[in-house]
Amino acid sequence: MIRIPRFAHATTGFVCAVILLVATAASAAGPGRHAIASAHPQATAAGREVLDAGGNAFDAAVAVAAALAVAEPYSSGIGGGGFFLLHHADDGRDTFLDARETAPAAATHDMYLDENGEFVRERSLNGGLAAAIPGLPAALVHIARTHGTLPLARTLAPAIRLARDGFLTGERYRLMAGYRTEALARDPIALQIFLRDGAAPPPGTRIVQPHLARTLESLAADGGESFYRGDIARLLVAGVRAAGGIWTLDDLAAYRVREREPIVADYHDIQVVSAPPPSAGGIVLVEALNILERYDLAALDEAARLHVVIEAMRRAYRDRADFLGDPDFTDIPLARLLDEDYAAWLARDLDLTRATPSDSLPPIGARPEGTDTTHFSVIDAAGNRVAATLSINTPFGSTVVPPGTGVVLNNEMDDFSARPLTPNTYGLVGAGANAIAPAKRPLSSMTPTFLVSPRRVGVLGTPGGSRIISMVLIGALEFARGGDPQRMVGASRYHHQYLPDQVQYERDGLAPALREALEARGHTLDEVSRNYGNMQAIVWDREAGTLEAASDPRGEGGSDVWAPAAP
Ligand code: GLY
């Protein structure tokens, strides 16, 4: 039976700027080893270097995030934002650091509509108008000052080296740059740094980013003063405005990270700690798990089990559309959404033999987000842990790199609902809770998550736009079945997001017999042309004394588990 959060909010939005540190099951002792799983081996190595220098998991998170900003310029970066879920082993506190980007003050509700009221997607995806005010630099400073033990000069050193000396591209880089070649080629700086002869470079190309190295050095030296209020701020604003944007120096100076209370709930004997708004992740995940807890999944055959999971996804994603947005701007009926009686009500028309048509649910729409982003997971020897999902939205963000900064700016403005009922890239529609407003944070799907059972601790998350939440759900169900991190990251993926009313599944992800069984229940299936997601998971088995980490086989990440050197 589900117990809804000991720490649930009242029914309305969250208080701004509060520091709420939530106590969850504290472990008496740590695993005695360190573990990192990230989307890039050099980012994992950066975290290892910092842990070996005596840092804790939070210092490692700064190092990994900064290195990913350099080596995965299509996924995340200091021109973007993200979420960090942090666990302090000493007192069992969990807290959620919200470094989501904010809309500039000159943003307006209809800023992406033309004179006929038609949505112009190009404006919300490419160029200066697409970029929201970055949060990641402020997050790195905040983590270092509030949770870490080492100075930024030490934790940012690996990323600075990587930017100055360069990194070698892989197949994923070729894919991402190929997907965004046209937009990258329109920005003279992006063209120069990220393309070769105007095209995506072949694997093995060295990408050197000296301006980014200098920007990171300045962050280490002045704690973000120049980035948010000084010379770099002036370069950023000039670059954005030259690219058609509306940023001002005041927008950068006004940016603040928030520490928020995570979503906490129980699924059987597993405590789920996950992302609160402005991410939809934790709420949708817990809503789906609340529905699923009503069924004996182990007793169902595979087709019936998938059917029930798909129906839970459908109903939980519907609520994403209807209710969720920036909690500082939108009243969210959090207690109701997370309540087990509400899950019973959602499941009342869940027929084990037939798909529920989405248009038979109360109408509303939502829109998901872009296709890139990144995630990493860390546990240190003491048991401190971090799950961080970071983004600049679609690959290479807005593709704007303001001259002199090396900073790839996000296009997170496209995560807002630009116009009610207008389908986005994924065919979904949005709602008023996620409408554009000055200084507002766009709704996210990023779902950094901890899973804590009496025996095991899991740390997981993934990129993947709207599919992030369904991937974390599938990973959590694998964990609940006793799966190790390899199984969690390797599980076949399927997805339902309410609208479009179809089950998306990754290439070769569902066996023919399973597809037939789902179609016989009335589901429309849509094979996604390639695999998706890039999950990074760690599992610490406290009883067995094992610590394991795994990077998604679909990506090019690197995971590492090692014992600290003797002092
Ligand atoms: N831009 C991806 C997300 O926030 O969900």
Which sequence spans correspond to the domains of the chain?
Answer: 1-166+208-567
CA distance 17 to 2: 30
**Residue 370 in contact with ligand 1 by CB distance below 6 A:** yes
Query: Which residue from 446, 447, 470 has its CB within 8 A of the most atoms of ligand 1, so it is best to mutate?
Result: 446
What ligand 1 atom has the least distance to the C-alpha of 394?
1
Query: Quick one: how far is CA 162 from the chain centroid?
Result: 23
Pocket test for ligand 1, best of 393, 466, 534 (most atoms within 8 A of CB): 393
What is the residue whose two structure tokens read 């599980």?
A: 491
Q: Which two tokens stand for residue 71?
A: 């080596």
Mean pLDDT by 10 residues, the chain (567 residues): 30 25 49 98 98 98 98 98 98 98 97 94 96 98 98 98 98 95 98 98 98 98 98 98 98 98 98 98 98 97 98 96 93 96 97 95 52 90 98 96 98 89 58 90 96 98 95 98 98 94 92 97 92 96 98 97 88
CA angle 312, 318, 324 (to 5 degrees): 120
Concatenating the DSSP letter of every residue in 386-405 gives EEEEEE-SSTTTT----TTT
Q: Write down the pLDDT at residue 389.
A: 98
C-alpha of residue 153 to centroid of ligand 1, in Å:
29
Q: Find the catalytic residue in 95, 373, 374, 394.
A: 373
Closest residue CA from atom 3 of ligand 1 = 444
* Nearest one of 352, 389, 393 to 374, comparing CA atoms: 389
- Ligand 1 pocket check for 75: Cβ under 6 Å: no
Nearest CA to ligand 1 atom 4: 444
Tokens of 529: 């042309």
Is 215 assigned a catalytic role?
no
How far is it, in rounded angstroms, from Cα 28 to Cα 12?
35
Pairing of the two strands 270-274 and 449-452: antiparallel
Q: Is 391 in the pocket of ligand 1 (CB under 6 A)?
A: yes
Angstrom distance (rounded) from CA 29 to CA 111:
52
Distance 389 CA to ligand 1 centre (A): 9
- Ligand 1 pocket residue status of 417, Cβ below 6 Å: no
What does the pLDDT read at residue 28? 52
Q: Hey, which of 367, 444, 470 would you mutate to test ligand 1's pocket, going by the most ligand atoms within 8 Å of its Cβ?
A: 444
**CA 279 – ligand 1 centroid, Å:** 8
- Specify the pLDDT at position 5: 34
Output the CA 372–ligand 1 centroid distance in Å: 8
Q: Which among 291, 315, 336, 285 has a CA at the least distance from the CA of 470?
A: 285
Q: How far is the CA of 442 from the centre of ligand 1 (A)?
A: 8
Rounded Cα distance between 236 and 226, Å, is: 11
Q: How many CB atoms lie within 10 A of CB 279?
A: 30
In short, whether 415's Cβ falls inside 6 Å of ligand 1 is yes
In whole angstroms, give the CA distance from residue 98 to residue 181.
Answer: 31
Task: Measure the CA–CA gap between 192 and 173, rounded to whole angstroms.
Answer: 15
Question: Does 205 sit in the ligand 1 pocket, CB within 6 Å?
Answer: no
Does ligand 1 lie within 6 Å of residue 424's CB atom? no
| Residue-wise burial string across 174-192, b where 16 or more C-beta atoms lie within 10 A, e elsewhere | bebbebbbebbeebebbbe
Which residue do the tokens 């929201």 mark? 132
Give the pLDDT of residue 499. Answer: 87
Distance CA 221, CA 215 (A): 10
Q: Which atom of ligand 1 is nearest to the CA of 368?
A: 5
Confirm or reject: Cβ of 279 under 6 Å from ligand 1.
no
- In the chain, the N- to C-terminal Cα span, in Å, equals 46
Question: What pLDDT score does 24 carry?
Answer: 37
As beta bridge partners, residue 105 has none
For ligand 1, the distance from its centroid to the CA atom of residue 398, given in whole angstroms, is: 14
**Atom in ligand 1 nearest the alpha carbon of residue 443:** 4
Q: Measured between alpha carbons, how far is 183 from 179 in angstroms, rounded to an integer? A: 9
Asked if residue 93 lies in contact with residue 102, where contact means CB atoms within 8 angstroms, the answer is no
430 C-alpha to ligand 1 centroid (Å): 14
CA dist 470 and 465 (Å) reads 10
Question: Ligand 1 pocket, 446 CB below 6 A?
Answer: yes
With helix as H, strand as E and coil as C, how does 316-330 read? HHHHHHHHCCCCCCC
pLDDT of residue 19: 26
Question: Does any ligand 1 atom lie closer than 6 A to the CB of residue 377?
Answer: no
C-alpha 401 – ligand 1 centre gap (Å):
20
pTM: 0.93
At position 409, the amino acid (one-letter code) is L
The protein residue with its alpha carbon nearest to ligand 1, atom 1, reads 393
Measured in Å, residue 551 CA sits from the centre of ligand 1 at 20
Q: Is 387 strand, coil or helix?
A: strand
pLDDT recorded at residue 421 = 67
Task: State the amino acid at position 49 in one-letter form.
Answer: E
Ligand 1 binding pocket includes 444 (Cβ within 6 Å): yes
Q: Residue 96 corresponds to which tokens in the numbers above?
A: 């959620």
For ligand 1, whether the C-beta of 463 sits within 6 Å is no
Angle at which helices 157-165 and 57-71 cross, to 10° = 10
d(CA 11, CA 291): 20
Cα 37 to Cα 539: distance, rounded to the nearest angstrom: 11
Ligand 1 pocket residue status of 445, Cβ below 6 Å = yes
d(CA 387, ligand 1 centre) in Å: 15
523, 354 contact by CB (below 8 A): no
Atom of ligand 1 nearest to the CA of 468: 5
- Cβ burial 371-405 (10 Å sphere, 16+ → b, else e): bbbbbbbbbbbbbbbbbbbbbbbbbbbbbbbbebb
